[in-house]
Structure formats: C-alpha cells, structure tokens
Chains A and B, each alone.
Chain A
Amino acid sequence: MKKTLIILGLISAILSAVLSVLPVFKLAIFPGILALLCGIGALILAKKQVSSTQTIQLIFLIVILSFSLSLYKTIFTKVEVGNTEDLEQREVEKVEEAKEELLNIEITE
C-alpha cells in the first residue's frame, strides 16, 4: 500500500512539475494535490511501520517547487501577443484588394 502511494505520488508530483513549466501551468494544481494526498497517506503508513521517508520527502519537495513556480507565473507573468507581422501584412493586402474590388460598387440603403 505504502509503495503504491509513493509511486502514484511520485508520478503525480513529476506531472505537476512538468505542467508548471508549460503555458498551462494552472493545471499543475490537480496532480499536485493528488501527489500531496498520496504523500500524506504514505507518510502516515511509514510512521506506523517506522520506515524511511526520504522518497516521500522528495514528493513534497517536487510539489512545493511546482506550486511555487505556478504561483509565481500566475502573479508575475503578463500575457502578451507574439509576432503578428505576418497577420499585419495579410491585413494590408486584404485592404488593398478590398479597395480595388469595392471602388465602383453602388452603395444601397
């Protein structure tokens, strides 16, 4: 049981860490919470069995790091539009084409 919880917790913690570096960093919270729950469960079992808690500590460490990174990005990352040169060029072309096509139309009410 303890082993299962540690494996699941470790996988979830790594997934949380991976998500936290991606643009969808807000999603890191879900595997992060799962990793924490698994870590707490494994910690309780480890204390009962008086066994090593090093891997469990690693789970907590990864989760804390991913949550910190996600929180930092949530607060400080400003969304901005990337390179739109191509789009602007297309816009100019479309306007020029439109000018030619619409120059002699009859505007009706």
Chain B
Amino acid sequence: MKHLLFLFTLILSTQAFSQNNALTFGEDLTFSASYNMSGVLTEVAQVKMETSKLNTNSGELMRLKVTATTYSSFDSYFKIRDLYESYVNPKTIKPYLYNREIDEGGHYKFVKYNFDYSSRTVKALLRKKSKNFESGFWDQNFNNSFSNNTRDIISTLYYLRTLDIKKAPIGASDTFIVLFDNKEVKCSFKLLAKETINTALGSKLCYKLAINVSGTSIFKGNNDNLIWLTADENKIPVYAKFKIAVGNGELKIKSANGLKN
C-alpha cells in the first residue's frame, strides 16, 4: 500500500512538473549582448527568442526560435547570423526537431537533430562548407540513441522556465542532459539566490541560477555563467553573464512581448 501511495504521489508530482505555465505561442524576447573588451562592455549583437505555433497532423508543436545578429557597426569586422530552433511539444517541451545554423565571420555550420521517441534514436545531420564536394557542403549523418530526458540546448533553456523553481531551496540544483555537437553533455543549474535587479522592464525579483556544463568547452569557470529568471510565473530570462572560451560578456533584456502571464 505504501509503495502504491508513493507511486501515485510520484506520478502526480511528475505530471505537475511537466505542466507548462510559463510559455505560450507568440512570445517575443529581445536581448542585447555585450562583450567584455579589456574591461569595457561593448554592445555587439542582438539576440531574439521567439515562440510560434506549427500545426502537424497529430497536433500542434511549439517552435522555439533563437537568433543572434551582430549590430551593423560590427558586421564589417565579424558578422554573425545565427539561427537556432527547436520544435517541441508545447506541454512537455520535449523536442522533435532541432536546427542550428550558424554563420559566424564566414564560418558556417548546420546541425539538425530529429528525435524519434518510439525508437529512442536521434538522427543527426552535420553540414559544413567544403570545396571538396560539388554541392559545396560536406554532410555527415549519425544515428545515436538518447536517454529519456535528453533535450537540445534551446528546449533545455525553455524547459527550465517551466520548472517550479519557487519551491526549490537556495542551493538546490538540477541536471539536464543536453545534446550538443552530437554529444550528450550534462548541464546543471544551481539556484544561488533570489535577488532584485534593475532591467529594461523595471525592477524585477529574480532567481539567480548558475549554469555549469560538464564534458564540453562551451562554458568556462565554475559558477561564472549566471542567468537571472524573473521570480514570477513567466520566469523569463532578463539578465545573463557568460564566460566562454573566447572571453566573457553579458546579455540584457531590452523588450518582452506576448508573455503568458
């Protein structure tokens, strides 16, 4: 009986966990990315996070789109036109298709993941520019198995917002498996504090989270990559500090439209 009760509670809590009360279609968040140059923060790019609807034969999917675009003054020096998108179940934020097409200073890369939940396999396509092929591209195809909670980087960021952070104590952490560059990496988020910060949207009470990624060189340092999510139902990211291989910088929100709550 005890076991049954435990199982029932577990199912209930899992259901509550997977409820999405933070995201809706038509959400549009705009950020400005600054790069730290010799201690001086310089605004270099605009980052946009948008959600929209995609209808399929069996229902609707949520398209999570993130674009990064350098400001015109930097285009002649280092032009960035990055597109990340993930097509997810709007309730569980489980991804079905992930596209990453980056064009950074002439360096082009395209990555596509097709998640197949029936066979627990992900069909991956990695495309790079190459003069050795007639098409001008070198395609590599992979088939990998993935674990139940594996997500791509974009759906992980959005999934984080659907979690019930208000119940978590300071110091609590959660680890997610993220498929990045055809490798499953562990990405952990630790709640460091609850603090009020000034943003373009006004003064906001936020959850301050530290991001640590193991098994990859994307992020550097320990607790040096931080993200502030508003401590309300929307849990939108309003500020982030990052330390990557080529330097450090920050991301500040400029505008937020179409929020669910």
B56 an interface residue at 8 Å Cβ cutoff?
yes
Given contacts A84-B81, A105-B58, contact A95 B114 (CB under 8 A): no
With both beta carbons as reference points, the residue of chain A lying nearest to B74 in the complex is identified as A23
B71 an interface residue at 8 Å Cβ cutoff?
yes
**Residue from A26, A27, A105 having most chain B Cβ neighbours under 10 A:** A105
- Return B248 CB to nearest CB of chain A, in Å: 16
A75-109 near B? 1/0 per residue, CB < 8 Å = 00101111110110011001100110111111111
A87-B67 in contact (CB<8A): yes
The B interface is mostly helix, strand or loop, or mixed, namely strand
Which residues of A lie under 8 Å from residue B145 when comparing CB positions?
none
B27 an interface residue at 8 Å Cβ cutoff?
no
B40 an interface residue at 8 Å Cβ cutoff?
yes
Which residues of A lie under 8 Å from residue B70 when comparing CB positions?
81-82
Q: Among residues 8 to 55 in chain A, which have CB atoms less than 8 Å away from a CB atom of chain B?
A: 23-24, 26-27, 29-30
- Return A15 CB to nearest CB of chain B, in Å: 13
With both beta carbons as reference points, the residue of chain A lying nearest to B35 in the complex is identified as A24
Inter-chain CA distance A103–B77, complex, in Å, is 41
Which residues of A lie under 8 Å from residue B118 when comparing CB positions?
106
**Residue from A23, A77, A83, A103 having most chain B Cβ neighbours under 10 A:** A23
A95-B42 in contact (CB<8A): no
B38 an interface residue at 8 Å Cβ cutoff?
yes
With both beta carbons as reference points, the residue of chain A lying nearest to B45 in the complex is identified as A81
Closest 3 CB pairs of A and B: A82-B72, A23-B73, A87-B81
Known: A81-B71, A98-B63. 5 other contacts (CB 8 A): A23-B42, A82-B75, A91-B83, A95-B54, A101-B97
